[in-house]
């Protein structure tokens, strides 16, 4: 082999090695967010974040619980930088497993301490209240129950709807287990199964109320508030009912976000958390989703004032009531799942 051929062979080997190394490196350093929140509001906020920072974002959508468990299974191989959930329970599970990165103080300072983890591992972004949406032509507000516990009574048979697969409904059931005991929660669930009508999702249940197919439905406030913004309250047959009694029917749940300890883009992830908790990000999320912002500097035009909400024990659910596993087991036991 001549010296020229030897040099070519060495160069070719080096080129092949370099090419192999290049294919092993991700082609993009885009931020990856696993999102269990509503798509339209999330996309609007992410687009504004990219426009302001130049940081591109890729998302993977799914249920919050499924995404959290996927992160656990993926371990160090997870491509996720951030998880954004509809309830706080999945975040607490990941925090308990030591999988979350501390959030910067700049982001934490945007949100009151009562709406975030004590150790700064995750932060609340939005909240929503459980409510009854009712058809004003079928039932009056004075005729509605003052407690969701009353729905097991015979007079409510075939008059209300619920969504058994809703994450918020399952948190409501978890709270029932925690506050009233498992036996009472089971009896309540059996009563709902006997008296109520099951819908696949909250929007379908609300549409049924609006059409007059059913008198009222257990939903989250933002489904109705968003529809009211789009078509005008005067054009709706339905209205919202807040029990105002610190009942489980007034449960307020919090969605939030966290950075994964395995994130490969932690600086960009921290920038996202600061934007999402800041006034601009919060205003976009609130306007697009009709949920309550956790940043107190952002208004809630058109929504019932946050200060007037009456959750059980006067507190928002930050995992205190949430035991998703117990709720799922009970739903399966009574034959609803």
Closest CA to 257 of 121, 127, 166: 121
Look up residue 203 and give its two tokens.
Answer: 């929007």
Q: What is the rounded CA–CA span in Å between residue 172 and residue 178?
A: 10
Average of per-residue pLDDT across 225-250: 94
Q: Please, what's the b/e burial string for 165-184 (b: 16 or more CB within 10 A of its CB; e: otherwise)?
A: ebbbbbbbbbbbbbeeeeee
Q: What is the rounded CA–CA span in Å between residue 268 and residue 156?
A: 52
Backbone angles phi, psi at 147, to 5 degrees: -150, 145
Average of per-residue pLDDT across 62-88: 94
Q: Which of 43-57, 157-171, 203-217 comes out lowest in average pLDDT? A: 157-171
Average of per-residue pLDDT across 121-144: 96
Q: Delineate the domains of the chain, giving CATH numbers in brackets.
A: 31-126+254-303 (3.40.190.10), 128-251+322-333 (3.40.190.10)
Look up residue 297 and give its two tokens.
Answer: 């500097």
Which residues neighbour 334 within 8 Å (Cβ) at sequence distance 6 or greater? 186, 189, 190, 193
Task: Classify residue 249 by its DSSP letter.
Answer: G
Residue count of the chain: 337
Backbone angles phi, psi at 169, to 5 degrees: -65, -40
Q: Which residue has the higher pLDDT, 89 or 282?
A: 282
Mean pLDDT of the chain: 89
């Amino acid at each position: 082999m001549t010296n020229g051929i030897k040099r070519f062979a060495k160069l070719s080997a080096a080129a092949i090695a370099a090419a192999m190394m290049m294919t092993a490196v991700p082609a993009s350093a885009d931020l990856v967010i696993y999102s269990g929140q509503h798509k339209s509001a999330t996309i609007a906020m992410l687009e504004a974040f990219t426009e302001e920072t130049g940081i591109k974002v890729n998302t993977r959508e799914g249920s919050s619980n499924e995404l959290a468990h996927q992160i656990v299974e993926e371990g160090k191989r997870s491509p996720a930088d951030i998880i954004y959930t509809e309830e706080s329970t999945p975040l607490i599970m990941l925090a308990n497993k030591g999988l979350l990165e501390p959030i910067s103080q700049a982001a934490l300072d945007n949100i009151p301490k009562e709406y975030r983890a004590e150790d700064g591992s995750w932060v609340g972004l939005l909240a929503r209240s459980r409510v009854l949406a009712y058809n004003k032509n079928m039932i009056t507000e004075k005729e509605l129950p003052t407690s969701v516990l009353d729905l097991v009574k015979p007079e409510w048979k075939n008059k209300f709807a619920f969504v058994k697969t809703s994450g918020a409904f399952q948190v409501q059931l978890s709270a029932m287990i925690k506050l009233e005991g498992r036996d009472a929660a089971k009896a309540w669930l059996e009563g709902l199964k006997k008296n109520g009508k099951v819908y696949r999702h909250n929007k379908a249940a609300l549409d049924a109320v609006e059409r007059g197919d059913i008198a009222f439905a257990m939903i989250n406030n933002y489904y109705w508030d968003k529809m009211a913004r789009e078509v005008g309250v005067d054009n709706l047959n339905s209205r919202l009912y807040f029990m105002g009694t610190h009942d489980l029917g007034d449960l307020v749940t919090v969605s939030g976000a966290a950075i994964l300890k395995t994130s490969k883009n932690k600086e960009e992830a921290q920038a996202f958390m600061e934007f999402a908790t800041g006034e601009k990000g919060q205003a976009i999320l609130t306007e697009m989703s009709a949920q309550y912002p956790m940043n107190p500097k952002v208004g809630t035009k058109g929504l019932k004032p946050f200060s007037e909400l009456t959750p059980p024990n006067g507190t928002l659910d930050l995992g205190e009531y949430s035991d998703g596993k117990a709720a799922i087991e009970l739903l399966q036991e009574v034959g609803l799942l």
